[in-house]
């Protein structure tokens, strides 16, 4: 017997802000190698807050029992170039929430605890560094059924460095 289920596809789009002016600013570039995604999943219930966690360092995904993952979540992978060797780069991502079809309105999933790996982020000998983004997705736990659809939001990543 096949049972129906709620399919949820979560997409997070990266918005990038490169920090204060420095000698490196004119040549600094960012390349998105792999976009961050919570994947596609079904949720058996929303009677309590449940979490799906994407580890930035290992890309290992852990999820509470109500999550049934169909397409694996993926940590984000980004390449920064054009910094001075040994320069430390501070990366900040604000916690946010996901809405159905990214249309704004009431957040229905909380995205919290964004993590960056490695920590600290330091440009290598060639002035570049690859870093990874992970996060936790949390249900609201209010008993409401999530409609089938795509839930997304923009990911605001900020970079700061001191030359």
In this structure, is residue 2 part of a structural domain?
Answer: no
Domain containing 103: what range?
8-161
In this structure, is residue 57 part of a structural domain?
Answer: yes
pLDDT at 30: 83
In this structure, is residue 154 part of a structural domain?
Answer: yes
Is the pLDDT at 136 greater than 90? The verdict is yes
In this structure, is residue 85 part of a structural domain?
Answer: yes
Query: How far apart, in whole angstroms, are the C-alpha atoms of residue 53 and residue 79?
Result: 22
Q: How many domains does the chain have?
A: 1
- Closest-CA residue to 62 (of 53, 70, 75): 53
Q: Which residues contact 56 (CB under 8 A, 6 or more apart)?
A: 75, 115, 116, 117, 132, 133, 134, 135
Query: How far apart, in whole angstroms, are the C-alpha atoms of residue 151 and residue 76?
Result: 17
In this structure, is residue 94 part of a structural domain?
Answer: yes
Rounded-to-5 percentages of helix, strand, coil across the chain: 0, 55, 45
In this structure, is residue 3 part of a structural domain?
Answer: no
In this structure, is residue 148 part of a structural domain?
Answer: yes
Instruction: Report pTM.
Output: 0.81
pLDDT at 103: 66
Query: Mind listing the pLDDT tens digit for each residue in 11-43?
Result: 454 444 444 444 444 488 888 999 999 999 999
Query: How far apart, in whole angstroms, are the C-alpha atoms of residue 133 and residue 49?
Result: 23
What does pLDDT average to over the chain?
A: 82
pLDDT at 73: 96
User: Higher-confidence residue: 16 or 83?
Assistant: 83
73, β-bridge pairs = none
Is the pLDDT at 10 greater than 70? The verdict is no
In this structure, is residue 1 part of a structural domain?
Answer: no
């Amino acid at each position: 017997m096949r049972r129906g289920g709620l399919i949820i596809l979560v997409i997070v789009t990266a918005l990038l802000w490169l920090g204060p002016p420095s000698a490196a600013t004119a040549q600094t570039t960012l390349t998105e190698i792999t976009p961050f995604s919570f994947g596609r999943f079904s949720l058996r219930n929303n009677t309590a807050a449940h979490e799906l966690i994407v580890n930035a360092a290992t890309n290992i995904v852990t999820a509470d029992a109500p999550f049934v993952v169909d397409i694996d979540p993926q940590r984000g992978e980004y390449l920064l170039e054009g910094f001075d060797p040994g320069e430390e780069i501070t990366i900040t991502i604000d916690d946010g929430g996901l809405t159905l079809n990214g249309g704004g309105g009431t957040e229905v999933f909380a995205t919290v605890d964004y993590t960056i790996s490695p920590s600290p982020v330091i440009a290598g000998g060639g002035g570049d560094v690859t870093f990874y983004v992970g996060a936790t997705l949390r249900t609201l736990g209010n008993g409401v059924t999530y409609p089938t659809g795509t839930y997304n939001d923009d990911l605001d990543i900020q970079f700061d460095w001191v030359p």
